[in-house]
Amino acid sequence: MFFIFESINDSKATHLIHYERMAGILSHFLITKKVKANMTKHYNIMNQDLKNICMKIN
């Protein structure tokens, strides 16, 4: 898992990119459509929380 902070809007904003990778023989069985949907839901919550924290700091 790793994060990249990418500058956008002429350096007026930052875009957080989160990468997580699963590999191996069992990864195809572990990452189902339901798991992907659940991960997306929780990543969106995490991103919104991070945005709220950054807005409070500024």
Q: Please report the pLDDT score of residue 43 as a whole number.
A: 82
Going by pLDDT thresholds of 50, 70 and 90, the confidence category of residue 1 is low
Q: Please report the pLDDT score of residue 50 as a whole number.
A: 82
Closest to 53 in 3D by CA, of 10, 4, 3, 14: 14
SS3 36: helix
Q: Please report the pLDDT score of residue 58 as a whole number.
A: 67
Domain residue extents for the chain: 24-58
Q: What is the mean pLDDT of residues 4-32?
A: 77
User: Which tens digits make up the pLDDT trace of 26-38?
Assistant: 777 777 888 778 8
Q: Is the entire prediction scored with pTM above 0.75?
A: no
Neighbours of 23 (CB within 10 A): 6
